[in-house]
């Protein structure tokens, strides 16, 4: 299965109140009018210039192992080594908002419109994550309806460049996905262009497999602890 899914940017459910500029002011009673006005303008630009599209391809466990191994540069111990099992569903993915919106952000900064540029950048970063969540939810529902997963399972995403999966893994992932078909290309350093793009693997399996201990050597330097936060969000762990 290789599926290309396009989305109307207006249908991506971005919670505007949660974007960075508002989060910083959670405790203040009033959001400056200039911020509100610029957020609205930035959201309009997102709807006008973002072209959300994703590509999703199912692979077997052994195919994913080979893609994940890449050039042999992954950390010796990493979460994906512990999660991988034959009893899981593996969906490679790449998603982008297209080049127009990224170019628009650069132009805003070049023209000195830093506030609008920053807000559009924030909305795009939130938008691509929400888009990814929607696609993941859709794929999970599809697997449940096929009977390959059940409602007690969960599907989470992992990406090259994080948690021990070396960034050069992008080369193997994108070659397999043929993601140039949706306009994504890799730089020499394996970063994606357009910049508002994400890629990796969705793994659907029992919740316990995703609930690994964060005791890998590189976790000491991790500032986000994203793996913990999403277990909380998905109700697998409590916040304490």
Sites of contact with ligand SF4 (CB under 6 A): 79, 163, 214, 216, 218-219, 222, 225-227
Least separation in angstroms between CB 100 and ligand SF4: 31
171/228 with CB nearer ligand SF4: 228
Least separation in angstroms between CB 211 and ligand SF4: 11
Least separation in angstroms between CB 220 and ligand SF4: 9
Q: Which two tokens stand for residue 234?
A: 């998905």
Size of the chain in residues? 240
C-beta of residue 165 within 8 angstroms of C-beta of residue 51: no
Least separation in angstroms between CB 101 and ligand SF4: 27
C-beta of residue 49 within 8 angstroms of C-beta of residue 104: yes
Instruction: Round to whole Å and give the CA distance between 225 and 233.
Output: 13
3/81 with CB nearer ligand SF4: 81
46/216 with CB nearer ligand SF4: 216
Neighbour tally for 235: CB within 10 Å: 9
Instruction: Round to whole Å and give the CA distance between 88 and 65.
Output: 12
30/220 with CB nearer ligand SF4: 220
């Amino acid at each position: 299965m290789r599926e290309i899914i396009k989305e109307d940017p207006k249908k991506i459910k971005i919670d505007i109140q949660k974007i960075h500029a508002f989060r910083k002011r959670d405790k203040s009673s009033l959001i400056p009018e200039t911020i509100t006005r610029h957020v609205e303008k930035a959201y309009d630009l997102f709807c006008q210039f973002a072209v959300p599209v994703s590509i999703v391809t199912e692979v077997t466990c052994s195919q994913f192992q080979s893609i994940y191994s890449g050039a042999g540069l992954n950390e010796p111990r990493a979460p994906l080594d512990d999660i991988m099992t034959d009893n899981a569903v593996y969906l490679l993915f790449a998603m982008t908002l297209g080049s127009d919106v990224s170019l628009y952000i650069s132009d805003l900064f070049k023209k000195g419109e830093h506030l609008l540029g920053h807000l559009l950048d924030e909305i795009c970063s939130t938008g691509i994550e929400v888009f990814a969540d929607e696609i993941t939810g859709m794929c999970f529902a599809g697997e449940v309806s096929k009977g390959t997963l059940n409602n007690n399972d969960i599907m989470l995403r992992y990406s090259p460049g994080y948690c021990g999966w070396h960034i050069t893994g992008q080369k193997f992932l994108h070659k397999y996905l043929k993601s140039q078909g949706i306009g994504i290309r890799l730089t020499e350093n394996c970063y994606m262009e357009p910049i508002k793009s994400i890629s990796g693997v969705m793994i659907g399996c029992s919740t316990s497999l995703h609930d690994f201990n964060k005791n890998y050597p590189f976790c000491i330097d991790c500032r986000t602890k994203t793996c913990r936060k999403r277990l909380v969000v998905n109700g697998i762990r409590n916040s304490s």
